[in-house]
């Protein structure tokens, strides 16, 4: 029960690794505010966690909207008395998420609205969740923020996606860690390689010859959120099965 009496916000919590993180946090005692734009799926997944004895609250939130981000954080603090963990899982490769045409996957012809979606969700949202939560964490002298990057931020995948992911795992994570450290507030990042949240991920080559199971990624996130990692802050943890090794050959 590493997270007993802790309050956590997880974005992108209706599916994938955000859902798994919510389930694992709840299993270890946290009260989890599950933030996602998909209201129907969010409610169903939160109910499933509660039926198993966990504490989960569906918090419908469009992470592109500051008012909704702020209200989600303030609700968690008001109802729980603290905000101890924020995990920014919401995001994705913009052309795929926006269902762009094949031409839209090529940066010189990528539609501007697709680029804007990526900046808003992959970069701006983690920054604004940190802005909303950081003051509370500093005041209570504890807290952890985890930003989720990508191997593409290391290798230079899609131009906008790589910039967004390297931006949050590099500059944002380090800056938040620096201002939080004197107050017991930590910030770390995790950059996965291919993960089997989609079947197509199995086609991405790694030195280990496979993609990661979602739990392998989320288990690292859980460690970084826990007191076991109390001396860890300001760094990005690459968990890619050695994909970066192949890129450097």
H/E element, 118: helix 112-118
Structural contact between residues 138 and 79, judged by C-beta atoms closer than 8 angstroms: no
Tell me, what DSSP letter sits at residue 98? T
Structural contact between residues 220 and 20, judged by C-beta atoms closer than 8 angstroms: no
Among 106, 161, 223, 237, the active-site one is: 161
Look-up: residue for tokens 């209200």?
71
Residues 10 and 143: their CA atoms lie apart, in Å, by 14
Q: How far is CA 107 from CA 103, 112, 182, 193, in A?
A: 8, 10, 41, 21
Sort residue 234 into left (φ over 0), alpha (ψ -120 to 50) or beta. Answer: left
Tell me, what DSSP letter sits at residue 104? G
Tokens, residue 40: 């129907």
CB crowding 48-73: b at 16 or more within 10 Å, else e:
ebeeeebbbbbbbbebbeeebbbebb
Residues 11 and 88: their CA atoms lie apart, in Å, by 5
Active-site residue flag, 33: no
Pairing of strands 7-11, 55-60: unpaired
Q: Which residues are catalytic?
A: 161
């Amino acid at each position: 029960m590493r997270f007993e009496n802790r309050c956590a916000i997880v974005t992108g919590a209706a599916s994938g690794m955000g859902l798994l993180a919510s389930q694992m946090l709840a299993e270890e005692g946290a009260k989890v505010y599950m933030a996602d734009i998909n209201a129907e799926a969010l409610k169903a997944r939160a109910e499933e966690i509660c039926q198993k004895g966990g504490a989960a609250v569906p918090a419908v939130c469009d992470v592109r909207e500051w008012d909704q981000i702020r209200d989600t954080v303030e609700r968690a603090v008001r109802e729980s008395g603290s905000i101890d963990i924020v995990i920014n899982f919401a995001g994705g490769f913009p052309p795929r998420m926006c269902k762009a045409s094949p031409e839209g996957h090529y940066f010189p012809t990528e539609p501007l609205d697709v680029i804007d979606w990526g900046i808003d969700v992959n970069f701006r949202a983690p920054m604004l969740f940190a802005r909303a939560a950081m003051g509370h964490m500093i005041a209570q002298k504890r807290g952890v923020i985890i930003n989720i990057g990508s191997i593409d931020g290391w290798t230079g995948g899609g131009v906008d996606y790589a910039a967004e992911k390297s931006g949050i795992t590099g500059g944002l994570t380090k800056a938040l860690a620096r201002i939080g450290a004197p107050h017991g507030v930590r910030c770390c990042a995790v950059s996965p390689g291919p993960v089997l949240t989609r079947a197509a991920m199995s086609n991405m080559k790694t030195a280990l010859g496979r993609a990661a199971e979602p739990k392998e990624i989320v288990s690292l996130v859980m460690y970084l959120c826990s007191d076991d990692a109390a001396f860890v802050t300001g760094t990005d943890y690459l968990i890619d099965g050695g994909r970066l090794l192949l890129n450097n050959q």
